[in-house]
Structure 1
Amino acid sequence: MDKGDPSRAGEELVAVFEGAEPGEPHTAREIADELGWERSTADETLQELAESGVLETKLVGDRERVWWLPPPTDHSRADVSAEPTERSREYQDLVASEQQYRAVFEEAFDAILIADDEARYVEVNPAACELFGLPREELLGRTIAEFAADGYDFEEAWQEFQISEADRGLFPLFRADGEQRIVEFAATPNILPGRHLSVIRDITERREATEELEQQRKRTRQYQKTLTADTVIQLEIEVDDAVFDRLSEHLDCKCEFEGLVTASNGRLLQYVTVVGASSEDVLDVMADRSEVYHYRVVFESDSSTLLEFAAKRSPAQTLVEAGASCRSIRSERGVTTIVAELGADLDLQRLINQFTAEYPDATVVAKRRLDRPIVTTRQYRETLVDSLTDRQIEALRAAYLAGYFEWPRSSQAERIASSMDIATSTWLRHLRLAEDKLVRWFFEELEV
């Protein structure tokens, strides 16, 4: 039997001594038989009570040890109703400390394991059982070597660890079901004689997220490089696109790609204008697509619907991951055509091979080399100013100078409009139109 709550176990054991003659000795075996405990549990609890001063003990013969409850002195009898004795306070402190340790051990999110000198686990917490994929009774007695990769030199690693002060690092751990997890560990030898502590944290998802984030940054850098390249290779590709094809064919409509955005979870949000179909029909089609993670109607009018969606895989995503940019995607009567651009320094054949490997029915219809015109700063400014009205420029300048774009805002819209002696709604309309033209210029690269 496990002793469970240490305070309760101690009380049960002391009750055995209190039921006997004062000073009568007992062996650990007698206590174990009396309470139905394992011998090791009785030994451990008796030792704790002796160390706290509740019991006294001595060795009898070569190996046998006995424990007894010392009889109360006259002084202790006189103070039986007074404050707790120093001995009882020490015992209570010991029980509280044990309870605190056990709570931390059991409730910790990280795996905590204690091994003996043979590297076999003698104590593990629930988080360790979850990480290793085994119940406690099956994890106890095992070594880390049983969860390591083939070729791992456990004997050498264990010997080096035992003579060290501490060890930490990363380790590929293979769970009982064969799944590999990447863990970081911190280990300390001899926290007690013959007891060695390991604290392990599963960082598999964090590591994968970090690697994916780095890949996203790499793709973004290449994507931006393509957008600003003076010379690009333009490809026109006919490809089966599960979303575009289905919409245009099933609804007998036209689909026009507007752009894409990378969400924080790595998914690509695509925006497409559907012309000639109601928003209700568009949503019905999207609800039937198992390859779509997310979709919503952003805007709708009598003739068109702006749709936002994220798919598990798509031709646009494959092109972006290869470093290209999607200039346009058009779909009509179930036929989808993509115009993609990539920098002249990219490996064109590698991109085509990568794309056709995922979409074997895709056909490269045309390939062109384009030299983009160089726009000077002066030309850029003049073209931008020409596209804005005087009212829009003044609204934009007032917002900038008054700190409207700062965080937190230095001025609110109402205060700026009042200073300009115009209605707030009028000022906001001019500002929104100016912002729209600026953003449209930036993302659509309006021609000079």
Structure 2
Amino acid sequence: MDEATRDRERNERGQYADRIPPDAVVEVFEARDDRARPLTASDVMDALDCSRRTAHNKLNELVERGTLDTRKVGARSRVWWVPIERPADVSESTDRPDDVSTAIRTAELPGSGPTLEARREALSAAYDYLTEHPEATKADFLRDVYHDHTAGYESAEGWWNAIQPALKGLPGVDPPEERGHLWHFLGGD
């Protein structure tokens, strides 16, 4: 056993104490020029001058903590990245009256789980569109809202058939009496 190995600190279980804290790995991610680029174990090894095993152990520890995400990208390759935090639930927007948030959160829309959540986001986007454009036609919603918020619908018509009945029930919305006429936003109470 060489002198460096003998001098290494041990933890309470007699194992060698880590000389590289997990926060050092987080700093490698924060130091990237391109914050969107995932890193490999080799990137971490090079930045911290450590072994592949140490890099993998630290990266996996950070995945378990929820600090990093990972996935396989080939037969023997894996990448890690800092997950982007999801925006708050659209129905909990702070600049929206409580009655509107509640109406969006409780609107009857088809689906469950992530599908239902995507449809609530689409309803929220349609509502926001109408508040920004107080007179809008069905074609306006399909052109300006549907493509960014398809909510799992393959056709604009299927999307509209699900969204418009729920949109009618939201506060301040005045739906047209006849097809092809204007939707109006009358404002909040």
User: What interval of TM-score do these two structures reach, taking the shorter chain for normalisation?
Assistant: 0.3 to 0.5
Q: Which is richer in helix? A: 2
TM-score, with length taken from structure 1: 0.20
Question: Of the two, which has the highest radius of gyration?
Answer: 1
TM-score, with length taken from structure 2: 0.38
